[in-house]
Amino acid sequence: MDNYSAVIHDAELWQSVLRMLLVGAITVPATVLLALLFALLLDTARARFTRFTRLAIFLPYAVPGVIATLLWGFLYLPATSPIGGRHIDFFGTSMVDVSVANIAVWGAVGFNMVVMYTSLRGLPPEIHEAARIDGASELQIALRVKVPLICPAIAMCTLFTVLAALQLFNEPNTLQPLSNAISLTWVPLMKIYTDAFVDSDIHLAAATSIVFAVGILAVSLLVGRLAQTRWGAAGAVAKEQR
């Protein structure tokens, strides 16, 4: 119980939780909205080269996380960056959260896009044709017809993205040697790893792991319930209108 008490009163752990939530506040909406945007654009009647575009968007998901982080890390470094690294401090305190979130978004958008695009392609084409006959524009069809009907897919992608944000580890851990702004305890999983294998405090690490696992389970259930209630109701209304 002393270990659990130490976890609850560990200020460094709570700071790492806040950093994780900050990165997640960037990652989750950016990933879901970009994936939805790409899926809707690829599903339009005027879309061209859709196979190549789908592959290009999905390809980053196939790149292992450590390799992707190293690639972006060298893009961020001033000595090797072709994207303005000499003028923008990507590893500075004010930018490091965005830099880490960018890598996570880059790697996750493709998977979510494929899920949403598959759902869009499964919709009956008669729905789109009826909306066009009624005078709806492509934007109106996308927002008022397509999006409500694929609400379950959007909810599932949102849940997966939230879980990935809570398990943030590879990106900051790989970038840590390159940035002074990323400490060994920057996010909770890095804190657990450091306690266990750097400070050799296995008991504190085990207690932190259990507390963190319970927290992730609670957040997952909450997000799943909210997504099911909100998006499920919207999808049901859309099906009734159809």
CA distance 126 to 168: 42
32 in Cβ contact with 166 (< 8 Å): no
CA distance 197 to 134: 64
Q: Give residue 25's pLDDT.
A: 96
Instruction: With CA atoms as reference, report the closest residue to 182 among 8, 15, 31, 10.
Output: 15
Q: Give residue 88's pLDDT.
A: 82
Q: Give residue 235's pLDDT.
A: 52
DSSP string, 128-174: HHHHHHTT--HHHHIIIIIHHHTHHHHHHHHHHHHHHHHT--HHHHH
pTM, rounded to two decimals? 0.89
Helices (H), the chain: 2-8, 11-42, 50-62, 65-76, 96-121, 125-133, 138-141, 147-149, 151-166, 170-175, 188-197, 202-241
pLDDT digit string (tens) for the chain, length 242 residues: 999 999 999 999 999 999 999 999 999 999 999 999 999 999 987 888 989 999 999 999 999 999 999 999 999 988 887 876 567 888 988 899 999 999 999 999 999 999 999 999 999 988 888 888 888 888 899 999 999 999 989 989 999 999 999 999 999 999 999 889 999 999 999 999 999 999 999 999 999 999 999 999 998 888 878 877 766 555 554 555 55
113 in Cβ contact with 214 (< 8 Å): no
- CA 209 vs CA 16, 117, 139, 198, 213: distances in Å: 14, 36, 46, 16, 6
* CA 149 and chain centroid, separation: 22
Q: Give residue 233's pLDDT.
A: 55
Q: Give residue 132's pLDDT.
A: 85
**Domains in the chain: ranges and CATH:** 2-241 (1.10.3720.10)
Q: Give residue 66's pLDDT.
A: 94
